Amino acid sequence: MAAQKHHTELPVTQIHLTEDNTQKNASKIDKAAPKIVLATLNARYFHTSFGLRYLYANLQELQGFCEIKEFIIQTRAIDIVEQILATKPDIVGFGVYIWNIVETTDVVSLLKVIAPEIKIVLGGPEVSYETEQQAIVASADYVLTGPADLSFYQLCKDIINDAPLDKKILNSKPVELKDLASPYQYYTDEDLTHRLLYVEASRGCPFKCEFCLSSLDKTSVPFEIVLFLEQMEILYNRGARNFKFIDRTFNLNINTTMQIMQFFLDRMTDDLYLHFEVVPDHLPRKLKELLAQFPEGSLQFEIGIQTFNTEVQKNISRKQNNAKSKDNLIWLKDNTHAHIHADLIFGLPGETFDSFKDSFNQLYHCRPHEIQMGILKRLKGSPIIRHTEAFDLRFNPLPPFNILSTDRVSFATMQRINRFARYWDMIGNSGRFKYALPHILSDEPFDDFMAITEWIFNKTGQIHKINLKKLFELISQAVEALYPEKHALVIEKIEQDYEAAKLKSLFSSLNLYQVTNIVAPSKNKALKRQQQHMS
């Protein structure tokens, strides 16, 4: 389902209890409760904030005084502040993540200038580690590190009752899953109709991959399966059809996995969509037999490969049976209708340009629908930083804290891979070139596509804002320049891709061959505005 793009001004979600409930709950607290706002900035409108709904679900008697307001990061900070202040809040809690830290910092800074009396509470993974050094923390009143499902409620009570709080940074205690109130009823009807719903059948991860914050977990803990499926039944009966499971290892406990998959298979509809993160080397026969029954368009599997280099896997404490992983990827592609999204990470300690190329080539020949090429990021708290000196890891000091160079990968090489990843996303992952691409790439797809990458970048100097028609032209021209013996066949396949894209212009209008650039006479742009007034 496409994201709705015209919701930048109004908050997506506003959750209230009735006035009767508000009055009833007010009698349970020591004094009149202030207005509480739970806010976050999502990457897109299509996303929902699962964390805020957990906080809201567990606010007990304070819930009637709370409202959830979600925004997207493209909205101006000053407009977000205006909408928050319009609710006259006394406490505002922000969910802070790597994708919204910059924008949330701007919002918090503005709020504190305009309304310094408002108590600002921060929580989320991005402020749970290296907390004191962060600029956003300096502007806030309190920070809750770790799982704040229950601790946010206690902090709000303390603020309301003027309880003495001698600390700014408060460490949340671990929570027992049985003690949590379920958040699922707080997905609105609009969420169910237009947005992706996040759900979790378990928390934590038993694996110790050092680039991931989940490596800090001791194990994976399941929610009680009967109660979980009851919640899924309620959502389904309300009309929910887009479910994204955030479990780090969905197929860890096969019996639980089977129950969940069978639950949805029994309720299959044309518009049901399920997203899972899957461990690639753990697909027993009975699970395979079940997966094969799901129809096209109903399953998406995100499969973390990251690297096939055994030395790099050892460096980052990653356990993976590479042979079995490749066999299972191929089996899934050949025997199920699942959309397979496989991940690689460039910049891991010990990885070289050539070893990454080898991983890409191996993964490409497993034929996943998409290869997501991630660049290593330094997530605060992740153990990857223990390798900083040994491998000369140099990270961007600004979000998204991506790796800039290592002892084996220069900054210039890192930039080449960044461009490769961007073009691969536009060309390889988009599905727009499914007919042409197999005829462009050979048994060494990485080298072939790197040549395409560098040709297009040298031609345009751009990795963004290349329209689709122009991209068709550039690919054809690149093939003509680099692989002239393939060009005639590739043009035939590009025409199939172009027709499938259903663009308005005719295929015959494309410049499929290299042409000499003609320099147009320059115009004085500085005078354009004045001329408009004079004409």
Per-residue confidence in pLDDT tens, the chain, 535 aa: 333 333 333 333 444 433 344 444 444 554 566 899 999 999 999 999 999 999 999 999 999 999 999 999 999 999 999 999 999 999 999 999 999 999 999 999 999 999 999 999 999 999 999 999 999 999 999 999 999 999 999 999 999 999 999 899 999 999 999 999 999 999 999 999 999 999 999 999 989 999 999 999 988 999 999 999 999 999 999 999 999 999 988 998 999 999 999 999 999 999 999 999 999 999 999 999 999 999 999 999 999 999 999 999 999 999 999 999 999 999 999 999 999 999 999 999 999 999 999 999 999 999 999 999 999 999 999 999 999 999 999 999 999 999 999 999 999 999 999 999 999 999 999 999 999 999 999 999 999 999 999 999 999 999 999 999 999 999 999 999 999 999 999 999 999 999 999 999 999 999 999 865 444 455 566 666 666 666 5
Asked if 391 and 520 sit in the same domain, the reply is no
Strand 394-395 and strand 403-405: the pairing is antiparallel
Q: What is the CATH number of the domain that holds 117?
A: 3.40.50.280
Looking at the structure, tell me whether residues 108 and 200 fall in a common domain: no
In a domain, 9, yes or no: no
By the 8 A CB rule, do 186 and 48 touch? no
Query: Is 248 contained in some domain?
Result: yes
Kindly state whether residues 220 and 293 are assigned to the same domain. Answer: yes
74 lies in the same domain as 139: yes
Same domain, residue pair 329 and 461: no
Q: Is residue 191 part of a domain?
A: no
Domain count, the chain: 3
Which residue among 394, 409, 424 closes a domain?
Answer: 409
Asked if residue 341 is part of any domain, the answer here is yes
363 within 8 A of 342, measured Cβ to Cβ: yes
What is this structure's pTM? 0.89
Q: Is 10 helix (H, G, I), strand (E, B) or coil?
A: coil
Range of the domain at 125: 19-178
523 and 452 in a common domain: yes
Q: Is residue 478 part of a domain?
A: yes
Q: Same structural domain for residues 394 and 367?
A: yes
Residues 82 and 62 in one domain: yes
Only one residue has tokens 């980052």, namely: 316
User: Residue 358 has which token pair?
Assistant: 């080898």
Task: Based on the fold, state whether residues 465 and 369 are members of the same structural domain.
Answer: no
Of 359, 383, 409, the one marking the end of a domain is: 409
Contact (CB, 8 A) for 411 and 404: yes
* Residues 6 or more apart whose Cβ sits within 8 Å of residue 279: 249, 250, 251, 252
